[in-house]
Amino acid sequence: MTKLEFLDALQARLASLPENEVYRLLGYYAEMIDDRVESGMSEEEAVEALGSMDSIIESIINDMSIPKLMRARVKESSHRFGNKVLWIILVILTFPFWFPAVMACFGAVFSVFMAIWGVIIGLFVAIGALAVSGVGCIIGGLFFLFTKPLPVALFALGVGCILSGVTIFMIKPIKHIAKWLGKGISSLVRKIKALLFKKRRVNSEAK
Amino acid sequence: MDIQLKRGILDVCVLAVLTRGDSYGYQIIKDVSECIEMSESTLYPILRRLESGKLVSFYSVEHNGRLRKYYSITELGRQRIDEFLEEWKELLKVYNFIMKMKDGGENDQA
């Protein structure tokens, strides 16, 4: 690919980002290619050295915040509509329809995040409760040795030992699950970003 | 290396390169690559981040009939390097401690 072909392709892929953002990116990569050519590479080699287009795009979207990607999306759909005034009027008139939908989407995403956090917190509360009741039963059992019939005391001690054992047994798996869920949250964020971007790209190709 | 960790380190590597004088994208990549691998697509977000945090400033210079963007480190950028070094002094202490404990443990077993 030559420098111009590369820049054209990059611009096409980034069509939905804010103009000044695209302008800066194209300037940056043009300068990189020029500098490589100056240091003795051919144009094709210089483009090759930049890596795959996909990895370039990915590094760009991963660095943008979700609100920024959404703003770009809203801006783009207003561009596509041509008549600005009509578009604004339409947006205002249809407010009762789209506003609940947008809020519902936000709510859905938010509740998924909260649910994941809830599970993490719940797991730790559960293991905490197990630990407390295990220790409580053992202490109670020791106390019962002197105050209650022997079978009752032994029963309490036994239950206490089982609960403590289960607690110790569960600590490691729960830590692993919590870590895994935490990773799930960050990969979810990345997927949402990719989704926002991909949708916009398909739209801009369609017009 | 952990992505989050590498990100923070690369920021400071770029700043460090700029303490030796103003520089431009391709040269920064070459300089930083002496110690840690860095590609064009990694440098771009770093420069953006440093720029928006006012850790670097930039200006354009004409070079061979085109514009080249030069970056220079700001006072805030220098402060960031000092903070980084301070943080890592502490981390180094922890590193040495871990190594000491680990080696000690192995010797005990032997």
Spans of chain B, pLDDT less than 50: 110
What's chain A's average pLDDT?
83
Q: Which residues of A148-157 are buried (b: 16+ CB within 10 A; e: fewer)?
A: eeeeebeebb
Contact between chains at A35 and B26 (C-beta distance less than 8 A): yes
- A28-51 mean pLDDT: 88
CATH 1.10.10.10 assigned to domain B3-109? The reply is yes
What is the band of A148 on the pLDDT scale with cuts at 50, 70, 90? confident
pTM: 0.57
Q: Which of A29, A50, A63 sits opposite B45 (nearest CB)?
A: A63
Q: What is the pLDDT of residue B82?
A: 94
- A52-65 mean pLDDT: 81
In angstroms, the CA A31 to CA A37 distance is 10
ipTM of this predicted structure: 0.79
- A83-111 mean pLDDT: 83
| A197 backbone dihedrals φ, ψ, rounded to 5° | -70, -45
In this model, does residue A111 exceed pLDDT 80?
yes
Contact residues, A window 13-52, toward B, CB-based 8 Å cutoff? 25, 27-29, 31-32, 34-36, 38-39, 50-51
